[in-house]
């Protein structure tokens, strides 16, 4: 006999798990949420939220260095990094408390401990010397992902760090070598560059942000050079030696070995699904070759009553994707007819300038058989961007020339993370570039760039010469 029984058991309290549990509670399902360490998961504690807090603080510091451009003379600016980290941790504490209250308010029982399957409908949860069993009609796996490492550079939390340690360092490193030029590496690298570190990025592929629109990457690469960040592509990190503050890293750059001196090495080569210790085979489940849990468009696994959501089911590994899947699964468990059927999943990179994309790129649209065209509007022609002193980048819309339907948006520039929301809605609603161009946007705002890009697609842009 199990110690506890419920309608739904959610394993993992990240942005997929806690959202799913809250929605289950709203739908009057008796729900238990199991979490081994942090309510809010990686995203809240060592991912999205703390990184954006420090990125915001670092960007503010960078802006102060250029305050004289606005006629503001600032002197004596200094950084109290421990206090900055404390401020970041305080945000996490407040948000964690809010989630706990929401769980309680929706009658979700939270059990802290490490979960492992003992059968398809029963889980054992261990917390220290205490162990209980929970039987559930439905089980949701929402265990997320963990940083991937590379064999020559094992994580030790000191010399070789992951993004987790990068958010709580005791000091700002004078020199930082970042292995991996993906979004995490560039976000962290730019953040520390804004705080005064000499940052070097090495990427094994032939461009930074592999898989992203090449024009976006070129624009960002130019900004990185202006910030003094040294970047090397086609570069393979091989070995290292030394101690914190005095490390020598050997990197093969375009066929030749180079030695880079650095204080610490940040490895950001991706993330992998977190299923270790879950004993999913005892539930009758198997992962694929990459360790992901296969699911259908209802997030159902191969075992009836067991679901999986978020990073553990595969790319894209995004918090908002996990949350959406968490809501869908909760509604399916409650008897609603739901499937994962979104047309567009936005992605944001909090670099400087920010990058945000949704939908198809121009090349992807052509590969799918569309008569693809683009409309593009530079932030340098935006009145609001000029008043912010943030004119790098552009707004680009991809559309089908025949139907005028919007297929994608690619943004690099100020507040791209906020602007992508309208773009995503446009795709979900099947909007045309004409719909957007006819919609009145307030002036002076950055949202006008969405309208102007749509007008440019039609050859009707007002504030640039049409192509």
Catalytic residue check, 443: yes
Cα 85 to chain centroid distance, Å, stands at: 20
What values do phi and psi take at 179, rounded to 5? -95, 110
| Contacts made by residues 250-255, CB under 8 angstroms, sequence distance 24+ | 251/202, 253/202
Question: In the numeric block, which tokens belong to residue 262?
Answer: 């650095």
Give the list of residues 6+ apart from residue 30 with CB closer than 8 angstroms, or none: 6, 7, 8, 107
Burial per residue of 178-211, b for 16 or more beta-carbon CB atoms within 10 angstroms, e otherwise: bbbbbbbbbbbbbbbbbbebbbbbbbbeebbbee
SS3 (DSSP) at 346: coil
Q: How far apart, in Å, are the Cα atoms of 275 and each of 9, 144, 346, 448?
A: 16, 8, 26, 45
- Of 66, 86, 336, 443, the active-site residue reads 443
Cα gap 135→125, rounded to integer Å? 11
- Which residue is it, tokens 């520390």? 192
Q: How far apart are CA 414 and CA 391, in angstroms?
A: 8
Enclosing H/E stretch for 199: strand 198-202
Backbone angles phi, psi at 164, to 5 degrees: -60, -50
Distance CA 273, CA 279 (A): 14
Cα–Cα distance for residue pair 97/467, rounded to 1 Å: 53
3-state secondary structure of 138: strand
Distance of CA 314 to the CA centre of its chain: 14
- State the catalytic residues: 443
């Amino acid at each position: 006999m199990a110690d506890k029984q419920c309608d739904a058991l959610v394993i993992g309290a990240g942005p997929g798990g806690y959202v799913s549990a809250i929605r289950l509670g709203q739908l009057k399902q008796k729900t238990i949420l199991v979490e081994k360490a942090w309510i809010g998961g990686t995203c809240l504690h060592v991912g999205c939220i703390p990184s954006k807090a420090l990125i915001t603080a670092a960007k503010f510091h960078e802006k102060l260095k250029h305050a004289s451009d606005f006629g503001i003379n600032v002197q004596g600016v200094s950084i109290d990094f421990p206090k900055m980290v404390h401020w970041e941790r305080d945000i996490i504490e407040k948000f964690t408390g809010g989630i706990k209250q929401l769980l309680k308010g929706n009658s979700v029982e939270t059990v802290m401990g490490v979960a492992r399957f003992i059968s398809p409908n029963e889980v054992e949860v261990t917390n220290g010397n205490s162990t209980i069993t929970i039987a559930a009609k439905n089980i949701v796996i929402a265990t997320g992902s963990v940083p991937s490492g590379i064999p020559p550079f094992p994580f030790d939390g000191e010399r070789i760090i992951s993004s987790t340690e990068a958010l709580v360092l005791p000091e700002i490193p004078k020199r930082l070598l970042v292995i991996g030029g993906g979004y995490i590496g560039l976000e962290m690298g730019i953040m520390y560059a804004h705080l005064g570190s000499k940052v070097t990025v090495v990427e094994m592929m032939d461009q930074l942000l592999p898989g992203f629109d090449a024009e976006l990457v070129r624009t960002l690469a130019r900004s990185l050079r202006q910030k003094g960040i040294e970047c090397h592509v086609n570069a393979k990190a091989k070995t290292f030696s030394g101690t914190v503050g005095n490390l020598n890293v050997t990197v093969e750059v375009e066929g030749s070995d180079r030695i880079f001196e650095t204080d610490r090495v940040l490895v950001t080569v991706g993330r992998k699904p977190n299923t270790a210790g879950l004993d999913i085979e005892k539930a009758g489940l198997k992962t694929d070759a990459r360790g992901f849990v296969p699911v259908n468009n209802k997030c159902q696994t191969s075992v009836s009553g067991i679901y999986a959501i978020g990073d553990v089911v595969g790319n894209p590994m995004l918090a908002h994707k996990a949350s959406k899947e968490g809501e869908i699964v909760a509604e399916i468990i409650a008897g609603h007819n739901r499937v994962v059927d979104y047309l567009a999943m936005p992605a944001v990179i909090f670099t400087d300038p920010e990058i945000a994309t949704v939908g198809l790129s121009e090349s992807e649209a052509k590969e799918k058989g569309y008569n693809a065209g683009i409309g593009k509007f530079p932030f340098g022609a935006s009145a609001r961007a000029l008043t912010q002193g943030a004119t790098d980048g552009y707004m680009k819309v991809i559309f089908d020339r025949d139907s005028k339907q919007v297929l994608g948006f690619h943004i690099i520039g100020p507040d791209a993370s906020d602007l992508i929301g309208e773009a995503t809605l446009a795709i979900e609603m099947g909007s045309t570039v004409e719909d957007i161009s006819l919609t009145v946007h307030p002036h002076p705002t950055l949202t006008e760039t969405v309208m102007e890009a749509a007008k440019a697609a039609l050859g009707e842009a007002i504030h640039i010469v049409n192509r």
